[in-house]
Amino acid sequence: MLDIRGLAASINDKPILKGIDLVVPQGEVHALMGPNGSGKSTLGYVLSGREDYEVTAGTVTFNGVDLLTMEPEQRAAAGVFLAFQAPVELPGVNNANFLRTALNAIRRAHGEPELDAVQFLKLARAETKRLAMPDDMLKRNVNVGFSGGEKKRNEVLQMAILRPKLAILDETDSGLDIDALKIVADGVNALRGPEFSALVITHHQRLLDHLVPNRVHVLAHGRIVRSGGPELAKELEKSGYAGLIAEAA
Amino acid sequence: MAAVTETLDTVQSVTQSGYKWGFETTIEMDFAPKGLNEDIIRLISTRKEEPEWMLEWRLKAYAAWLKMEEPHWARVDHPPIDYQDLHYYAAPKKKAGPKSLDEVDPELLKMYEKLGIPLKERAILAGVDPDTVENTQVAVDAVFDSVSVATTFQATLRKAGVIFCPISEAVRDHPELVKQYLGTVVPTGDNFFAALNSAVFTDGSFVYIPKGVRCPMELSTYFRINARNTGQFERTLIIAEAGSHVSYLEGCTAPQRDENQLHAAVVELVAMDDAQIKYSTVQNWYPGDANGKGGIYNFVTKRGACRGARSKISWTQVETGSAITWKYPSCVLHGEDSVGEFYSVAVTNNHQQADTGTKMIHIGKGSRSTIISKGISAGHSNNTYRGLVRMLPSATNARNFTQCDSLLIGDQCGAHTVPYIESRNLTAKVEHEATTSKIADDQLFYCRQRGLSEEDAVGLIVNGFCKDVLKELPMEFAVEAQKLLAVSLEGSVG
Ligand SMILES: Nc1ncnc2c1ncn2[C@@H]1O[C@H](COP(=O)(O)OP(=O)(O)O)[C@@H](O)[C@H]1O
Ligand SMILES: [Mg+2]
C-alpha cells in the first residue's frame, strides 16, 4: 500500500506540492488527473527520489517502509517504478544490457541469483513478444533515435521486465495511437494482482477505458481537489478541470 | 555485459584498498649508478650482450639527445625532471618475487579476479617467479600453466615463421632485420624522449611476420614471460611483410605500479603491401593518489609506417593510468590506398593530465584515415586531444574523418580539443566533428530509478560513450577495459 500524508515539496524554493494525502491500497490502480503544471510529474519524481526536489513536510510509506529516506535505487529495489513522461536517452547503452543490469541490481538487492545473458534474453524476448513490440527494441540504444511513441512503449517494456510492485506511469499514453495505447493498458493489466498497485497519470479517458481504475484523483495547484470512482474521469472529459478547481478554491 | 553488473563490487574493493600494489618487498636489484653518460650506455649495451653496431647507434642517439630540449608544448604541467637523478639500468635479480600465489597479498589477487584476469596471468602479474615455484604446491599449476602456454605459443609461432621475442634477443639473433628497420619510423633524433629512449632502451618486443603469413594468434605481452618486468624505456618494433596480418596487445588492465616515475617508450610499426597491423593498448600505470601525488609520467612515441600499397595500421588505445600521458600514436601513409586508424579512449580523474591524440600523414594516393577519440575527464583532471591531419601534395583523393568527443564528469575538470589540419592537395578531403557533453543528472536519475547504483550508472554511461572505440578491441580485452573504465572513475560522482 502506498500511503502519502501531508506531502509538501518544493523545487528551487518554489513550493509545488502543498499537502497531498493519497492512499493507493495493494492491488488497486488509481488514476491521477489534473491540469498542466499542477504537480503530477513532481509527485512522481518525489515518490521515486529525484534529488532536485526538497520534501518540506509529510510522510510517504510503501508497504510500511519509509520511502523518503531511501536512495532512488533502493526505492527501485523496493518495487517502485516510474515510467517517465520524458524518457531519457542513453547514447551507446544497449537496451538489453541496461535492463539486465537493472534487473540484476534489483535481484541482488533481494538476495536472488543474477540472470546471465541467455536467461535474460529469454525473459526479455518473451515480454517483447507479449507486448507485440519489435525484437530490435532490445538491441537499440536506450531511447536514442526512438520516436515519441517508441520511447513510451520502451517504458512499458521496462516495466514488464522489472515487474514492479508500485508503478507510476506519467502520461505514458500521451501521443500514442490507439494500438499503442492498448499496449500501455495491457502492460499494466498484465501486472495487476494482489501485490501490485499503480498510479496512472493521464489526461485521457481512452486509457482508463482499458484500465478501469479503482479510484480517480484530481490534482490542482499542488493539492488533491477531488477523488472519486471511474465515473469522475468521464465527467472531467465532458466538463474539464475549470469548474472543479473553482469549486475547490 | 557482466562487466557492468560487477562494477559495484570492483569499485568497492578499490575504494577500500586504494590503488594497491600489494607486495612492496625489497626486491634486490642490479642497479647501474644514477645518471646518464656514455659509460652508462656502454654498461647497458654490455649487459644486453649487444653487438658493436648497436652500441654505436645508441651513442649517436645520446649525442643527439644532448643537443635537444625537453618539449613543453603539451598541455601538461610537471616539476622539472632531473635526468641525472635517474637509474637507467636496473635488472631485478632472480628469486626476488613471491614464490607462489600464497605469498601474494590476497587483496591484490582479489582485484585481479574482479577485473576478470585469468589465474595464470594473475600469478605472472603478481610477480611470482616461475623459476622458483617448482616445489610449492598451490601456484604450481597456475604458473606452470603459464609457462607451458608460453612455450606452446612459441612453437606455434615458429611453425608459422613468426618471430616474437624480446628486442634485446632480436638484436643478437636477427641483427639484419633490426638493423634494417630500427629507427626508420621513429628516427633517433625525432624528439627529445625518442632520442633518450634510443640511447638507453632496455627492453620491449620484436615481432616479424613473414610474407603472406597471418599470425596464428594475437600476440600479447602477457605471454612473453619476461615482460612482467617492463622497463622504463621500452622499445618495440613490429614488421609485417607483404600480405601479412598481425594483432598485438600491449599492457593489461591490472594496476601496474612502478617506482620509475619517467617512462619513455618507442614503438615502431612497418607494414608492407597489403599488410595489416592492429596494435591495441590498455594503459593502467599508477596515476598518483587522489591529491595528485606520485604517479607515472608516460611520454611515448608510437608511429606506424604504411609503406606498402593497401597496407593498414590500426591503433586502439584505452588510457586510464599515469599521472601524465603524452602520447600520439601516428600513421605515415606512404602506400597508395593505405589506411590508418586511431581509436582512443583516454580517461583522466583526480589530478591526472593527458595530452594525447594522433598524427595522420597522408602521402600516398587514395590513402584514408579514421580518428575516433573519446576523452573522459573527471575530478580536477585535464584531458586534451591533439591531432594532426596532414595531406601532402602527392595525396590525391586522400580522405580523413575525425570524430572527437569529450565527456565531462563534474565541473572541476577540463576537456580540450586541438586539431591541426594541413592540406596541400585540393582533392583531399578532411572532415572533423567534435562534441562535448556532460553526464546529465537526468541520465543518472533515470538509471538509478531502474535500480542501478550511481557508480554503476556512471560506468554504463561511460561505456556507452566509448562504445565505438571499445568495439575495436579484441574481445577479452574489451570486457576488461569496460571494467577498468568504471574502476578508474571511482569516486568521480556524488
Ligand atoms: N526546475 C524547476 N524549477 C522551477 N519550477 C519548476 C521546475 N520544474 C517544474 N517546475 C514547476 O513545477 C510545477 C509543476 O510541474 P509538473 O510537476 O511538471 O506539472 P504537471 O506534470 O502536472 O504538468 C510547474 O509550475 C512547473 O513550472
Ligand atoms: Mg507532467
CB contact under 8 A, A84 and B440: no
Q: How far is A76 from chain B (nearest CA, A)?
A: 5
Look at A34-38, B95-99, B276-280 and tell me which has the smallest mean pLDDT. Answer: B95-99
C-alpha distance from A97 to closest chain B C-alpha (Å)? 6
Contact B461 A98 (CB under 8 A): no
Best-predicted range by mean pLDDT (B41-45, B70-74, B140-144, B378-382): B41-45
Interface membership of B475 toward A (CB under 8 Å): no
Name the closest ligand to CA A33: 1
Closest residue in chain B to residue A117, using alpha carbons only: B1
Residues with CB under 6 A from ligand 1: A 11-12, 14, 16, 34, 36-42
pLDDT, tens digit, 9 for 90 and up, residues B150-190: 555 777 888 999 998 888 889 999 999 999 999 999 999 99
Q: How confident is residue B225, by pLDDT bands cut at 50, 70 and 90?
A: very low
pLDDT score, position B106: 61
DSSP 3-state of B400: strand
| Cα(B388)–Cα(B313) distance, integer angstroms | 16
Residues in chain B, overall count:
494
Report yes or no: A158 at the B interface, CB cutoff 8 Å.
yes
Q: What is the mean pLDDT of residues A122-126?
A: 93
How far A49 CA sits from the closest chain B CA (Å)? 8
The CA–CA distances, whole Å, from B162 to B35, B153, B210, B223, B317 equal 38, 11, 7, 15, 24
Average pLDDT of the segment spanning A27-33: 95
Surrounding ion ligand 2 within 5 Å at CB are A 40-41, 85
CB of A43 within 8 A of CB of A170? no
Phi, psi of B80 (to 5 degrees): -60, 145
Q: Is the distance from CB of B38 to CB of B61 less than 8 angstroms?
A: no
- Compare B78 and B190 and report the one with higher pLDDT: B190
Picking from B360, B356, B349, the residue whose alpha carbon sits closest to that of residue B317 is: B356
Q: What's the confidence (pLDDT) of residue B11? A: 28
Query: Is the pLDDT at B105 greater than 80, yes or no?
Result: no
Band (B107; pLDDT cuts 50, 70, 90): low
pLDDT of residue B151: 54
For the residues A173-185, what does the mean pLDDT come to? 85
What pLDDT is stored for residue B122 in this prediction? 52
Chain A contact set for B468 (CB, 8 A): 92
Measured between beta carbons, which residues in chain B are less than 8 angstroms from residue A51?
441, 445
- Dump pLDDT digits (tens) for B28-55: 446 677 888 998 899 889 888 899 999 9
- Its ipTM equals 0.96
Position with higher pLDDT, B102 vs B78 = B78
> Which of A116, A141, A158 is opposite residue B450, by nearest beta carbon?
A158
More reliable by pLDDT, B120 or B435? B435
Q: How far apart are CA B378 and CA B409, in angstroms?
A: 5
Q: Do A105 and B466 touch (CB under 8 A)?
A: no
What was the pLDDT predicted at B135? Answer: 28
CA torsion A128→A134→A140→A144, rounded to 10°?
Answer: -100
Dist CA B147 CA B162 (whole Å): 19
Query: Does residue B312 register a pLDDT over 50?
Result: yes
Residue B425 vs residue B124, higher pLDDT:
B425
pLDDT band at B474 (very low <50, low <70, confident <90, very high): confident
| pLDDT tens per residue across span B315-338 | 999 988 888 888 999 999 999 999
DSSP code at position B379:
T
Choice among A25-34, A40-49, B294-303, B483-492 with the minimum mean pLDDT: B483-492
> Which residue did the predictor score with more confidence, B254 or B457?
B457
Q: What percent of chain B has pLDDT over 90?
A: 42
Residues of A in contact with B343 (CB under 8 A): none
Q: Note which residues in 185-224 of chain A have CB less than 8 A from chain B.
A: none
* Ligand 1 atom with the shortest distance to the CA of A222: 14
Candidate ranges A224-233, A237-246, B19-28; pick with highest mean pLDDT: A224-233
Nearest-Cα distance to chain A for B340, in Å, is: 24
Q: What is the pLDDT of residue B331?
A: 98
Average the pLDDT over B331-348 and give the result.
95
At A193 the pLDDT is 93
Per-residue confidence band for A120, with pLDDT thresholds at 50, 70 and 90? very high
CB contact under 8 A, B447 and A87: no
B296: confidence class by pLDDT, cuts 50, 70, 90: confident
Question: At residue B136, does pLDDT exceed 60?
Answer: no
Looking at the predicted structure, is the pLDDT value of residue A140 above 70?
yes
* Model-wide pTM > 0.90: no
Q: A103 touching B, CB under 8 A?
A: yes
Q: Cell numbers of B206, please? A: 620484436
Q: Work out the pLDDT band at B6, boundaries 50, 70, 90.
A: very low
Q: If you take atom 18 of ligand 1, which residue's CA is the nearest one?
A: A41
pLDDT in tens, B362-383: 999 999 999 999 999 888 888 8
Task: Locate the chain A residue with the closest alpha carbon to B439.
Answer: A90
Estimate the crossing angle of helix B7-17 against helix B475-488, to 10 degrees.
50
Q: Determine which of B8, B442, B443, B446 to mutate to test the interface with A (most A C-beta atoms within 10 Å).
A: B446
Q: Do B452 and A105 touch (CB under 8 A)?
A: yes
- Alpha-carbon gap: B379 to the closest alpha carbon of chain A (Å): 21
Degrees to nearest 5, angle at CA B367 with B74 and B430:
55
SS3 content of chain B, % helix, strand, coil (to 5): 30, 30, 40
Q: Is residue B395 predicted with pLDDT exceeding 60?
A: yes
Q: Among partner residues B2, B442, B467, which is closest to A92 by beta-carbon distance?
A: B467
CA of A36 to the centre of ligand 2 (A): 7
Residue A30: name the closest of A216, A164, A223, A236 by CA: A216
* Stretch 443-472 of chain B: residues touching chain A, C-beta under 8 Å: 443, 445-454, 456, 460-461, 463-468
Question: Looking at beta carbons, which residues of chain A come within 8 Å of B450?
Answer: 76, 98-99, 102, 105, 158, 162
Residue of B372, B406, B442, B450 to mutate, testing the A interface (most A Cβ within 10 Å of its Cβ): B450
Q: Compute the nearest-CA separation of A220 from chain B (Å).
A: 25
Strands (E) in B322-381, as ranges, are: 324-327, 330-333, 339-348, 353-362, 368-377
Mean pLDDT of A145-160: 92
The CA distances from residue B338 to A10, B215, B290, B364, in Å, are 61, 20, 43, 7
Averaged confidence pLDDT in chain A: 92
pLDDT confidence band for A143 (50 / 70 / 90): very high
| Interchain pair B450, A114: CB under 8 A | no
Chain mean pLDDT for chain B:
79
Instruction: Among A10, A11, A172, A245, say which to mutate for ligand 1: greatest number of ligand atoms within 8 Å of CB.
Output: A11
Interface test with B, best of A47, A73, A103, A161 (most B CBs within 10 A): A73
Inter-chain Cβ pairs, chain A and chain B, closer than 8 A: 93
Instruction: Give CA angle at B6 (B318, A156), nearest 5°.
Output: 105
- What is the arithmetic mean of pLDDT over B190-200? 94
